[in-house]
Amino acid sequence: MPVDLDDVDRKLLNILQDNADLTYAEIGRILGVSPSTVYMRIKKLKEKGYIKRIVAEVPPEIVGVNLRALILLNVDLKKYNDVAQKLLTYPQIKVIYDITGEWTFLIEAFVKDHKELSELLDSLGSIEGVQKSTTIVVLRVIKEDRKVLVT
């Protein structure tokens, strides 16, 4: 447990992860502190790196992004850094994990349709250092929760 967080900070982080759209006054009422205290706490938490950013969560399908794929890549380790840097340039790639086991990377990509996925896979396969890949198309999301419980 981080020693520089008190109970108010912990509760504040949990509240923001549930609904960052609340006003400082609303959060203050929940926490029993003033809106200015909420503002200062959030500012401090951002400065210390506890809050990376506060963003709107847009359901992909509402904006025409209807297909999510998990892509496993095996990469020549001599080309690891070059491949990683190239992967960062693809706007469809939302998450890149360096993983253990048989594969080097696990990628989560969001695309409009199968045609765009096919084009993405062709492009990834042409990156120097990519040795093989396998793709998993997500049919349904049963649970997706990126919140971290702060206790």
CA distance 97 to 130: 15
Q: 7-47, what's its fold?
A: Arc Repressor Mutant, subunit A (1.10.10)
pLDDT the model gives residue 136:
98
Q: Please name the CATH architecture into which domain 60-137 falls.
A: 2-Layer Sandwich (3.30)
Position 82 scores a pLDDT of: 98
One-character DSSP codes across 101-118 = SS-SEEEEEEESSHHHHH
pTM reported for the whole predicted model: 0.85
123-146 tens-digit pLDDT = 999 999 999 999 999 999 999 998
Residues in a beta bridge with 72: 106, 134
Identify the burial level of 64 via C-beta atoms within 10 angstroms of its C-beta, where 0-12 means exposed, 13-18 middle and 19 or more buried: exposed
Higher-pLDDT residue of 147 and 1 is 147
Domain boundaries, the chain: 7-47, 60-137
Distance CA 125, CA 118 (A): 10
Kindly report, residue by residue over 3-28, the tens digit of the pLDDT.
Answer: 789 999 999 999 999 999 999 999 99
Distance of alpha carbon 138 from alpha carbon 61, whole angstroms: 13
